[in-house]
Each structure stands twice: as C-alpha cells, then as structure tokens.
Amino acid sequence: MAVKMTLILLIVALMAECIVGGPMVNDPNRDPLPEENMNVTQMILYNGYPVENHDVTTEDGYILSVQRIPYGRNGNCKNVTSKPVVFLQHGLLAAATNWVTNLPNQSFGFVLADKCFDVWLGNMRGNTYCRRHVNYSVHSDEFWDFSFDEMAKYDLPAMINYVINTTSQPYLYYAGHSQGTMIGFIEFGRNAELIKRVKAFYALAPVSTVTYMGGALKYLADLSPEIQFFFKLFGVREFLPSNFVVKWFAQIFCKAPVLEMVCSDFLFLIAGNDQKQLNETRVPVYVSHTPAGTSVKNVVHFAQLHNAKKFQMYDYGSADKNRQHYGQDTPPEYNVSKVAVPTALYWAGHDVLADPMDVKSLMPKLPTLTYNKFIEAWEHLDFVWGMDATTEVYNDIIKHILEKEREMGKS
C-alpha cells in the first residue's frame, strides 16, 4: 500500500509540471555563468562563433528552429570553400544546446566548426526551440499528439532536406545522440530519397530497443497506463518533470556523494552521470538548458518499448485503435535490418539508456555497420558532455569523415 501511495504521489507530481517545472539551479552562494541565461544562438555568439537561425516547416505543420555554425571561431575557416556538411541531432528531453554547452574544445559543434565543417544543429518538435505550428497552439492537445514516430517521419526529413537545399551540397554526414540515433534507425531504413542524401550515420549511444534500460525511465515504464490516464484527465500534455518528481528520483539514484545540482536535473536521472567525465564547473549550464521538453506521448512511447521488448511504433492501447492507425491489431515493428546508410556505432559499458545488451542485439541486424567503438567506462551523457569526448569520439568521427572525403577526391 505504501508503494502504491508513493506511485500515486509521483503521478500527481508529474501533473504539477506546468506549475513548478524546471531544473533547480539557484544557489545564492555562487555567481551564475553567463551561458545559464542564454539561448543557443547567444551561446554560440558568446563563444566567438558565427550563427544562423533557420526555420524549417514540416509536412505536418511544425516549425522547427535549426542553428547553423558556418565556420570556426573568430573567423577560422571562413574562406574555406565547399566544407563538408555535418548535421547534429540531440536526444530525448534535450535540444541543440547539447552540442555547444561545453568549452569550445569540448563541444562537438564548436570542434567541427574549427575543423572547417559546415555545422547544423537540429531541434525536435516540442522542445524549447520548436513550440510553433502553422495551425495549432502550443496549448492544444493537437500540438502535443506526437512521439518519436512523427519525429522520424516528418522532422528528420524536413531538416535534412532543408540543409541539403540551403547548402547546395549533394549529401551530408549525420551524427545523432540517443533519440537522435533512434529516428535515424527508423528513417534511414525506409526513406529512399533521404538515404541518398546522407553519406554516413554516426550513432552516439545508439537506441533502438530499450529492453535492458535502467534509470528513471525504467521506473516510469511501470506507470505508463496511470501516467497516460492522469495526464489526459487533467489536460497535461508536455513532459517537463516537476521538482517533486526530480527530488523523488534523486533519492533513489543519487545515494553516492555527487553534485546536488546534477541530481536536480531529470535528464541525468534518466541517463546517469559519470563523475570522472563531468566538468563540474559546467554543470550549471547543463541543467539550465535541460530538460528541454517533449510530449507525454513520447515518454510513454519509450516506456512502451521497454515493456514490449520491441522496437515498434506507438501502441494506442487496443486492437481497435491500432487498426485505425495501422490497419493491424498491434503496432508495426521498425526493421533496422533495412538501414541503408553506412553506420558507425559509439557505445558505452555503463550506459543505462542505451544498455550494452540492447546495443549488442542491434549490431548484427545492421546491414551497413562499418565501424563500432566501445568505451567501457562511459555513460550515456558522456557522448555530449564528457571531458574526453573530443579525444575519444569527436576526433574519431572527424577522421572518418575526412577519409571519406579524400576517397571521393574532395580534400
């Protein structure tokens, strides 16, 4: 009974997110870092890089904000012509800020720009930078009726096609983290036109099935029917956990002596934190920009994957409703064996969201797997915020891209 009551309190707290959402980063004993109160565009400019903001409208009417870093810091690489185009896509509950919140030599977006790449940062519907629609209000049920199914079907092609058309380049290189890899595994296995436009796919902390995941999402998976019911009953559509929920999970996952501020951020509670790779001085910046928001439906979809132990489309809860959407009683499964873009995997031994057992299950199914790098000591967020991410991953990706460019006689 006590456990059940705790779960009910958790659901009620989730409903309160519209009132008291956001990370707890206020500490009266410290001076805030400038980037804490900046948006992604301001952060890029603050660090000495040029930036362009582009609006991309999807086929179903969402207006996505995309940032471009066309060349390096303080004009570096400005006069280099025909730069390789790299598109970076964030993960669950995140935003384009993931790629620019570290120091310039540690942030993938900045590292690429300083190596003379044309860098584009994607944002998914429903996050901080994508809360507009041509017809629907952000306060409507219709706006929040999406999961990663729609991100893959509409957002990813819209952004990639826009970048290709804007740069007049025949192709780009795609690097995704977490959910950003998931939508790649979906769309690069079925969208023939899009596949032609992506030269290589670099999957950081790759996610398809989440059968073995741990962390806060595993706990929420057991509550998915109740969460759906209560959110629908009280008209809450966006998933942005309240401070009550964050504190509750922090008591479970933060028993070891770690930074209190890390444990006040729900993204760390979902994905874990690696103290050895964590730049403690940057933590206030991380938690001021995450969680960046998504739909309740999207989080429930992740929970469904864990419970079903399959990589499948959203389950509408009954055979009748699934037939209305899919023409069959159960959600269709995604077929990663049809991924046609050359793929490189970067995965970690202590990843609670992209668990090594799930990644090992994925690897033999990929027909175009060209490379994989396993980092035993790492966790999920090390691929975007790790202090050694540049030496362990980013430089490795850059090396592979330049090799491909040389093979095609382009550099």
Q: Would you call 380 a catalytic residue per the annotation?
A: yes
Place of tokens 């989440």: 210
Q: Which residues contact 177 (CB under 8 A, 6 or more apart)?
A: 89, 90, 91, 94, 98, 204, 205, 383, 384
Taking the C-alpha atoms of residue 122 and residue 80, their distance in angstroms, rounded to an integer, is 23
Taking the C-alpha atoms of residue 26 and residue 325, their distance in angstroms, rounded to an integer, is 45
Taking the C-alpha atoms of residue 387 and residue 385, their distance in angstroms, rounded to an integer, is 6
| Rounded average pLDDT per 10-residue block, the chain, 411 residues | 46 42 48 90 98 98 98 95 96 95 97 98 97 96 96 98 97 98 98 98 98 81 62 60 49 49 58 77 84 89 94 96 97 98 97 96 98 96 95 98 90 58
Q: At CA 209, angle to CA 89 and CA 248, rounded to 5?
A: 80
Q: Tell me, what amino acid is at 90?
A: H
Closest CA to 195 of 370, 369, 340: 340
Reduce the secondary structure of 174-226 to three states and give it as a string: EEEECHHHHHHHHHCCCCHHHHCCEEEEEEECCCCCCCCCCHHHHHHHCCHHH
pLDDT at 355: 96
Residue 372 neighbours by CB distance under 10 Å: 15
Q: Which two tokens stand for residue 346?
A: 């970067």
Three-class SS state of 155: helix
Place of tokens 């409903």: 15
Sign of CA dihedral 46, 294, 214, 184: negative
pLDDT at 276: 86
CA distances (Å), origin 309, targets 165, 212, 306: 38, 9, 5
Taking the C-alpha atoms of residue 32 and residue 201, their distance in angstroms, rounded to an integer, is 37
pTM summary value: 0.89
Pairing of strands 118-121, 62-69: antiparallel
Three-class SS state of 52: strand
In the 8-state DSSP scheme, what is residue 76?
Answer: T
pLDDT at 283: 82
pLDDT at 226: 59
Of the candidates 107, 178, 264, 295, the residue annotated as catalytic is 178
Closest CA to 411 of 109, 118, 81: 81
Q: Would you call 382 a catalytic residue per the annotation?
A: no
Residue 407 neighbours by CB distance under 10 Å: 9
Taking the C-alpha atoms of residue 90 and residue 108, their distance in angstroms, rounded to an integer, is 11
* Helix H or strand E encompassing 131: none
Quick one: how far is CA 363 from the chain centroid?
A: 20
Taking the C-alpha atoms of residue 151 and residue 149, their distance in angstroms, rounded to an integer, is 6
pLDDT at 286: 86
In the 8-state DSSP scheme, what is residue 305?
Answer: H
Q: What is the maximal distance between C-alpha atoms in the chain? A: 68
Taking the C-alpha atoms of residue 395 and residue 117, their distance in angstroms, rounded to an integer, is 13
Q: Which two tokens stand for residue 12?
A: 């009620």
Q: Would you call 178 a catalytic residue per the annotation?
A: yes
Taking the C-alpha atoms of residue 56 and residue 158, their distance in angstroms, rounded to an integer, is 7
Place of tokens 């028993």: 255
Of the candidates 114, 118, 315, 351, the residue annotated as catalytic is 351
Closest CA to 125 of 103, 143, 140: 143
User: What length does the chain have?
Assistant: 411
Of the candidates 133, 242, 380, 382, the residue annotated as catalytic is 380
